[in-house]
Chains A and B, each alone.
Chain A
Amino acid sequence: MPSLFEKLWQAHIVREKPNEPTLLYIDLHLIHEVTSPQAFEGLRQAGRSVRRPDLTFGTADHNVPTTDRSLPIADAIAAQQIDTLRKNCQEHRIQLFDINSPEQGIVHVIGPELGLTQPGMTIVCGDSHTSTHGAFGALAFGIGTSEVEHVLATQCLLQNKPRTMKVQTSNTLPSGVSAKDLALGIIGKIGTDGATGYVIEYAGEAVRNLTMEGRMTLCNMSIEAGARAGMIAPDETTLAYLKGRRFAPQGESWDAAVNYWQTLHSDEDARFDKVVQLDATQLEPFVTWGTSPGMVAPVTSHVPDPADAKTLADQQAAERALEYMALKPRTNIQDIHIDRAFIGSCTNARLEDLRAAARVVKGYHINSSVTALVVPGSYEVKRAAEQEGLDRVFSDAGFEWREPGCSMCLGMNPDILQPGERCASTSNRNFEGRQGRGGRTHLVSPMMAAAAAIKGHFTDIREWEFR
């Protein structure tokens, strides 16, 4: 009867009282430099300590430079923020994967690759894309800094129970259509607030057939539909990914964990507050045309005409978005030319993403009007990619190969768009100014970004000539 979400919720109830939020236990707390300093400051002011430093991990990812890390950080304020994280972790005996440590990377990339992220856990982080970890059958969500402080002090969070939504997919994704396109397709269908107040469970054949990397991409984007969290029940794919990872259970502990993890799925008769059906064969590679992830169109289609919008509010939003994006209604998506390409972020900077992009790039060179950046999600990803020679494929094609971090996804470090520049980006948000003031972001999959960098404009990856 219970859904996967219900099982996870029940297992983490510390205290429950009518008319009060539930006190939930948090199994894993990830922290980073941008949203934690004020939380530690709050602890200090109140004379409180960190309850479970052993269940807390830190890394610096948001503002770190992606250029030579042996040099001092040029931005003194960013350097101070990283130093503050360092001091806080030292003082409270929290393990930190510092900017030059071999484990450093985007927090949502390193959690899974180190085996910290496991099925059945509750995982929080002061970052909205914490939903990524739901790919393992964990209840994982982003929190604000006050809640970071709450978790540091108590290892618990007060939570009102969210509603549940099931996204039931049928069939498998066509060739050239990736997990990113599935995510964009869902957001385009339900809207950027379509899942507000809900936890989404992704299910069905198209989801089962995704690799762990693809599942992470899908769950990562849950927040762009407004969802509290996104999750996928663990299966053989999950176990195969986890086994042997550094912080994953070992030996008998692994067997015991697997026994438990195998119970973590929605029962046949589980009820959901909302069910959305999606036929994967109907999906195409997508490109966003506007300033919200829900403003999305198939690559074979065109920029919509605001006059066709269903409501006045939608019409005004579309008009405003097109003005910002400097696009005319009914422009073919494939006629949109780009200046920059960014392959990176917690959405699409894992080894599989880089492999997919490299396969497109191989034997080509980027268009002369384009500059392009590849930012691996972690040092682990970077090392593995270099072992396979992917760095050479990208460099030979004219891409810059950088050090890991959040980089141009949010532009807190020097990697930003200049005003008016147009970017094909594998990140998660195309908000106004997100990648740099006046910058214009089009969200796409890694293959689509790579192809756009080569052509100089968006192109249908399903027709690509691989070399």
Chain B
Amino acid sequence: MKIMQKFTTHTGLVAPLDRANVDTDQIIPKQFLKTIKRTGLREGLFFDWRKQKDGSPDPSFFLNQARYHDATILLTRDNFGCGSSREHAPWALLDQGFRCIIASSFADIFYNNCFQNGILPVVLQADEVKTLMQEVLKTPDYRLTVDLAQQIVTAPDGTHYRFTIDPFRKDCLYRGLDSIGLTLQHESVIADYEARRMAEAPWLFTDLHA
């Protein structure tokens, strides 16, 4: 079976994106969606915010600040990843080096897409995110440890932030399981379903290409 990138425990530098409702058009603008590859999307990550109109880096944007260059954990606010289903968004974040995104909530499709790419999306309470955001902004080299098995984010001062996660997704990410491989193990169950459904609702299986 194909093995995906695992996520067990990760300690990394945190970068703050102090904004709610960051949509996937912002994470990776349209001009970067013409690729037929999953890699090399780093250049497009937050492009419109990262680059000024003349193409030079905008020094006020967090990713252009030296202190966040090596960040692997992104801290942000509500409804991160809303809008388009483009998986180019997690691909670009991964290409930049992000392995974990902590937010007070995520949009549905983006949240799913993270798991497919070895990125752990962590949901914390809004007040917890607020506290962490303040710490990150005022503390150089602020690092968090994310322990997937224990479902705990640990701050430098030892504070624990617990998070919940769907047990199946957790297991897949922890062990790097390929969900297509898992589903293909149930091939006969799928074939049984198709046979049953074909009897109940044959019009669904008309060969439309014929």
Q: Footprint of B on A, CB under 8 Å?
A: 14-15, 19-21, 23, 25, 27, 34-35, 37-38, 41, 45-46, 48, 51, 53-55, 57, 62-63, 75, 77-78, 80-81, 84, 93, 95, 116, 118, 120-121, 126-128, 142-147, 149-150, 153-156, 158, 160, 192-193, 196-197, 223, 226, 228, 247, 249, 253-254, 256-257, 260, 292, 313, 317, 320, 410-412, 419, 429, 431-434, 437-438
Contacts of B209 in A (CB 8 A): 53-54, 93, 95
Q: List 27 A-B contacts (CB under 8 A).
A: A19-B167, A34-B34, A38-B38, A54-B207, A81-B35, A81-B36, A116-B208, A120-B201, A128-B109, A142-B85, A144-B116, A147-B112, A149-B180, A150-B179, A150-B180, A150-B183, A153-B180, A155-B194, A158-B182, A192-B82, A193-B79, A256-B201, A292-B23, A313-B78, A429-B83, A434-B25, A437-B48
Q: Closest Cβ of chain B: how far from A60's Cβ, in Å?
A: 12
Q: Closest Cβ of chain B: how far from A442's Cβ, in Å?
A: 16
Q: Does the CB pair A143–B109 fall under 8 Å? A: yes
Contacts of A433 in B (CB 8 A): 25-26, 29, 48
Which of these, B26, B34, B79, contacts A431 with CB under 8 Å? B26
Contacts of A193 in B (CB 8 A): 21, 78-79, 82, 105, 107
B151 at the interface (CB under 8 A from A): no
Contacts of B82 in A (CB 8 A): 192-193, 226
Contacts of B53 in A (CB 8 A): 419, 437-438
Q: Does the CB pair A128–B83 fall under 8 Å? A: yes
B17 at the interface (CB under 8 A from A): no
Q: Closest Cβ of chain A: how far from B73's Cβ, in Å?
A: 21
Q: Does the CB pair A21–B208 fall under 8 Å? A: no
Q: Given contacts A38-B37, A256-B202, are A153 and B184 in contact (CB under 8 A)?
A: yes
Contacts of A155 in B (CB 8 A): 190, 194
State in angstroms the CA–CA spacing of A256 and B201 once bound together.
Answer: 8
From 5 to 52 in chain B, residues with beta carbon under 8 angstroms from any chain A beta carbon are 19-21, 23, 25-26, 29-31, 33-38, 48
B204 at the interface (CB under 8 A from A): yes
Apart from A54-B208, A156-B183, A156-B190, 4 more pairs, CB < 8 Å = A77-B35, A155-B194, A193-B79, A253-B203
Contacts of B207 in A (CB 8 A): 54
B76 at the interface (CB under 8 A from A): no
Q: Does the CB pair B201–A257 fall under 8 Å? A: yes
Q: Closest Cβ of chain B: how far from A58's Cβ, in Å?
A: 12
**How many residues of B are counted as interface, with CB atoms below 8 angstroms from the partner's CB atoms?**
61
State in angstroms the CA–CA spacing of A193 and B23 once bound together.
Answer: 12
Q: Footprint of A on B, CB under 8 Å?
A: 2, 19-21, 23, 25-26, 29-31, 33-38, 48, 53, 77-79, 82-87, 90, 105, 107-109, 112-113, 116-117, 166-169, 178-180, 182-184, 186, 189-190, 193-194, 197, 201-209
Q: Does the CB pair A128–B206 fall under 8 Å? A: no
Q: Closest Cβ of chain B: how far from A49's Cβ, in Å?
A: 11
Q: Does the CB pair B36–A14 fall under 8 Å? A: no
Q: Closest Cβ of chain A: how far from B44's Cβ, in Å?
A: 12
- Give the nearest-CB partner of A120 in chain B: B201
Contacts of A419 in B (CB 8 A): 53
Q: Does the CB pair B112–A144 fall under 8 Å? A: yes
Contacts of A411 in B (CB 8 A): 30
Contacts of B205 in A (CB 8 A): 54-55
Q: Closest Cβ of chain B: how far from A88's Cβ, in Å?
A: 10
Contacts of B186 in A (CB 8 A): 14-15, 23
Q: Does the CB pair A25–B30 fall under 8 Å? A: no
Which of these, B30, B105, B190, contacts A14 with CB under 8 Å? B190
Which of these, A55, A143, A156, A432, contacts B25 with CB under 8 Å? A432
- Give the nearest-CB partner of B172 in chain A: A158
Q: Closest Cβ of chain B: how far from A101's Cβ, in Å?
A: 14
State in angstroms the CA–CA spacing of A54 and B198 once bound together.
Answer: 14
Q: Does the CB pair B84–A128 fall under 8 Å? A: yes
Contacts of A62 in B (CB 8 A): 33
Q: Closest Cβ of chain A: how far from B29's Cβ, in Å?
A: 6
State in angstroms the CA–CA spacing of A433 and B169 once bound together.
Answer: 33
Contacts of A78 in B (CB 8 A): 34
Q: Does the CB pair A121–B85 fall under 8 Å? A: no
Contacts of A438 in B (CB 8 A): 53
Q: Does the CB pair A196–B204 fall under 8 Å? A: no
State in angstroms the CA–CA spacing of A55 and B201 once bound together.
Answer: 14
Q: Given contacts A226-B79, A419-B53, A437-B29, are A197 and B108 in contact (CB under 8 A)?
A: yes
State in angstroms the CA–CA spacing of A19 and B170 once bound together.
Answer: 11
Q: Closest Cβ of chain B: how far from A48's Cβ, in Å?
A: 7
State in angstroms the CA–CA spacing of A273 and B73 once bound together.
Answer: 34
State in angstroms the CA–CA spacing of A313 and B105 once bound together.
Answer: 14
Which of these, B29, B86, B184, contacts A154 with CB under 8 Å? B184
- Give the nearest-CB partner of A46 in chain B: B2
Pick from B77, B85, B86, B207 the residue with the most CB of A within 10 Å: B85
Q: Does the CB pair A431–B83 fall under 8 Å? A: yes
Q: Does the CB pair B87–A35 fall under 8 Å? A: yes
- Give the nearest-CB partner of B112 in chain A: A144
State in angstroms the CA–CA spacing of A434 and B83 once bound together.
Answer: 11
Q: Given contacts A78-B34, A147-B116, A253-B203, are A192 and B180 in contact (CB under 8 A)?
A: no
Contacts of B21 in A (CB 8 A): 192-193, 292, 317
Q: Closest Cβ of chain A: how far from B202's Cβ, in Å?
A: 7
Pick from A45, A116, A145, A223 the residue with the most CB of B within 10 Å: A145
Q: Does the CB pair A144–B201 fall under 8 Å? A: no
Contacts of A292 in B (CB 8 A): 21, 23
Q: Closest Cβ of chain A: how far from B209's Cβ, in Å?
A: 5
Q: Does the CB pair A46–B180 fall under 8 Å? A: yes
Contacts of B167 in A (CB 8 A): 19
Q: Does the CB pair A412–B33 fall under 8 Å? A: yes
Contacts of A20 in B (CB 8 A): 168
